[in-house]
Structure 1
Amino acid sequence: MTTAATPLRVGIVGLSARGGWASLAHVPAIRAVDGLALRALTASTPASAAAAGAAYGVRHHADAAALAHDPQVDLVVIAVKVSTHRRLIEATFDAGKMVFCEWPLGNGDAEGRWLADQAASRGLRTFVGLQARATPAIRYLRDLVADGYLGRVLSTTLSASGISWGDITYPRKTYLLDRREGASMLTIPAGHTLDALQFVLGDFESLQATTAIRREQVAMHRKPDEIHRKTVADQIAVQGVLRDGAVAATHFRGGTSRATDFHWEINGTEGDIVVKGDAGGFLQYGQVHLCGARGERSELAPLPTPATYVQVPSLPEHGSHAFTVAHGYAQLVADLANGTSVVPDFAHAARLHRLLDAVEESAERGVRISL
């Protein structure tokens, strides 16, 4: 049982004093959620870890193994590049600690399944950062659909911009262009968003996909002569049938659009709902708005998220990287207190890896894949 007096003690792998996802999202999220306390960290080098320890006022360790064996750490958070996840998670498993890993879990389907199997065989509690499904508006959307706002769902269409995979890259982001790194438009924005779509509407029963690399050469920001080669898809079209028979059509495109960077529409026998996003195809940032209409009403109207869905009111929904991450942490604390499993675990992550693997297989072979 975690309380303010006896909080869940967290150690972060990948927390730097120079910024990054852990500092932008995880640290403010942990500070905002009752029942959590940041106790330790490690970073890319011992010197970086020492600087971060001084900056955040917590103990620092030279590497992930030392952090995982720290008796003052209950939960290890992995917030680094996916290509290093397996090694760092193994160190946490060896210490017998619970682990929260950012999505993607592994570098590909096989690695994701291996990590899920290891967690199951060791009986360890695991969590994965698929925080789009923790977003208050997305949870409200799921309840609207389940409660019959749309009647029977007929179809859904979604288009989204994967901003980082356009014609320009940035320092420290070139790894996103390399297929070997496992951090692509398919695994990150498409993976998070397809997971949220399934959370709301149910899993895919079958799918057929088309992928392409339309911009093979990418220039460095403000250095047009510095060219990098892109080996990951920047156009991904996935269509299929969901478990209840509804038809789904999705398109993820690299870069940005002058028209709209995120539009998700759900159509049913009794109504329609449109989801708009402020962060392009990155639905996991949670900056979304719902509009809908049903029955005799012909024009869409805003569907504000009820305040009861907001579990961390101290953080702003818009402009905050920590908002959805904090809601994921709040669910994690509740899961441990109540014996529930709301937060996705490694087994769930392995199933999502399988879905993305099916997308690639379908695109490569030109066939429909049953799931």
Structure 2
Amino acid sequence: MKEQRIRVGIIGTGGWARYGHIPVLQSLEGFDVVALAGRNKEKVQKYADEFGIGMAYGNAEELIAHPAIDLVVVLAPTPEHGRLSAAAIAAGKDVYSEWPLSTSTAESERILAQAQAQGVKHVIGLQRRFSPAVRYLKHLMQENYVGTLRGVRMSVGVDAFGPVMPDAVKWVLEDANFTHLLPIYGGHFHDVLFSTVGFPKQLAAITKVQFPMTTLAETGQQVPYSSANEVIVMGTLEGSALFSIQLEGGQAHRTGLQIDITGTEGVLRMTNPHAFQNQSDHRIEGMKHGAATFAELPVPAEFAFLPTAGMDASALDVAYLYSAYARDKASGTNEATSFEDAVRQHRLIDRINASSAAFFAANDAP
């Protein structure tokens, strides 16, 4: 019997669709991209013609309603994620929403409850934990490479969300749109870290707006920017281990990603010069058995089982997430990141913001 393929409809024709989702899905066995939708029908049709996709719609509702679609992928701007995900669930479709699931914890909780009640598969685009390097790092932790965990340090530095931004993305300057440093890079890399070492028990945080005005590059217009572009978080994990995190946006010189995991028996380090659009996967190094310097720990082939097809590592992370969803669909497992993971990240961000607000309230008091 021929295996049934998963028919996918994608809502949104921005750069992430072109760079990531469409080429990824067309490279994977078991998926067919059958429809695209967006606000600009001409642009949608252009994408459909370029990638050989049969159906093109100028609104999302037509795509969601089509009976020949099994999985709806929501890649529209963040303020639309919640509404479109809820509509797909109501239509009985499986849904993959780009992170964040919505612009608020309460809305994301409602969407999760709706998906659970409807019984559909739900996937959140926290794909970075699925990279071969991150999965190997988790394997090394499970194999007790570092011994008893003592401390975890992560820094993420990017040029995005800084003093100059393109006019095309000025909508992200509205704090209510939930598309700034803490939700985007924080959400993705907190998921990487805490899916590897365990979720925080206690935390304290400071968030700071270091660029209160942003210049739109094309016009020179000055726009107020109230979202934090520097974030520090520290706290406790299970046992006696501590963690610290620094997120920094608007860097003139990008520092990328660095994670250090120290324990009683060894140390692990994972680095990448870029935090997004990575040409190659993260580098893992370790020290153990009295070593004085780091040695590279190449990722074994079994963790990189998908063909690269010339795609960047950041796109391949998405491929591994779709692969996990397909296995879940076939076997009833729950490997793919879900709306439950999205709600967990929303609640973590709420804790960080509340801690920062309490810090400034206490320290600004007379």
TM-based fold match above 0.5? yes
2-structure distance, mates of 1:32, 1:306: 22
1:226: Cα distance to partner? 2.1
Q: Which residue does the alignment assign to 2:319? A: 326
1:250: Cα distance to partner? 0.4
The aligned amino acid for 2:97 is C
1:13 aligns with 2:7: no
2-structure distance, mates of 1:296, 1:232: 44
Question: Aligned match of 1:361 in 338, 344, 354?
Answer: 354
2-structure distance, mates of 1:299, 1:114: 49
1:97: Cα distance to partner? 0.4
- Describe how 1:235-254 pairs up with structure 2 within 5 A: 235-254=230-249
- Describe how 1:102-251 pairs up with structure 2 within 5 A: 102-221=98-217, 223=219, 225-251=220-246
Q: Which residue does the alignment assign to 2:36? A: 41
The one-character-per-residue Cα deviations of 1:177-210 (angstroms, maximum 9, x if unpaired) are 2201111100001110001101110011111110
1-structure distance, mates of 2:307, 2:89: 34
The aligned amino acid for 2:245 is T
The normalised TM-score by structure 2 is 0.93
The aligned amino acid for 1:297 is A
2-structure distance, mates of 1:285, 1:278: 10
The normalised TM-score by structure 1 is 0.91
1:321: Cα distance to partner? 4.1
1:299 aligns with 2:293: yes
The one-character-per-residue Cα deviations of 1:68-103 (angstroms, maximum 9, x if unpaired) are 121211000001111011221122122110000010
Closer/same/farther in 2, CA of residues 222 and 69 from structure 1, 3 Å limit: closer
The aligned amino acid for 1:12 is I
2-structure distance, mates of 1:108, 1:39: 31
Q: Which residue does the alignment assign to 2:284? A: 290
- Describe how 1:82-101 pairs up with structure 2 within 5 A: 82-101=78-97
* 2:159/2:253 contact within 8 Å kept: no
The one-character-per-residue Cα deviations of 1:320-344 (angstroms, maximum 9, x if unpaired) are 5421111111111111112111111
1:49: Cα distance to partner? 2.8
Q: Which residue does the alignment assign to 2:335? A: 342
Which ranges of structure 1 fall in alignment gaps of 5 or more residues? none
* RMSD, aligned CA: 2.0
1:356: Cα distance to partner? 0.8
Q: Which residue does the alignment assign to 2:305? A: 311
Question: Aligned match of 2:274 in 273, 279, 303?
Answer: 279
* 1:64/1:91 contact within 8 Å kept: no
SS in 2 for 1:363: helix
Q: Which residue does the alignment assign to 2:363? A: none
Percent of paired sites with the same residue: 28
- The aligned length equals 359
* 2:277/2:313 contact within 8 Å kept: no
Closer/same/farther in 2, CA of residues 195 and 343 from structure 1, 3 Å limit: same
The one-character-per-residue Cα deviations of 1:42-85 (angstroms, maximum 9, x if unpaired) are 01133333333333322112322211121211000001111011
Closer/same/farther in 2, CA of residues 95 and 286 from structure 1, 3 Å limit: farther
Which range moved further: 56-65 or 148-157? 56-65
Q: Which residue does the alignment assign to 2:251? A: 256
2-structure distance, mates of 1:132, 1:112: 20
* 1:64/1:92 contact within 8 Å kept: no
Name which structure has the greater RCO, CA cutoff 8 Å, separation 6+.
Answer: 1
Which ranges of structure 2 fall in alignment gaps of 5 or more residues? 361-366
2-structure distance, mates of 1:278, 1:270: 27
The one-character-per-residue Cα deviations of 1:348-369 (angstroms, maximum 9, x if unpaired) are 21111111111111111229xx
2-structure distance, mates of 1:326, 1:201: 24
2-structure distance, mates of 1:102, 1:286: 22
* 1:10/1:75 contact within 8 Å kept: yes
* 2:159/2:251 contact within 8 Å kept: yes
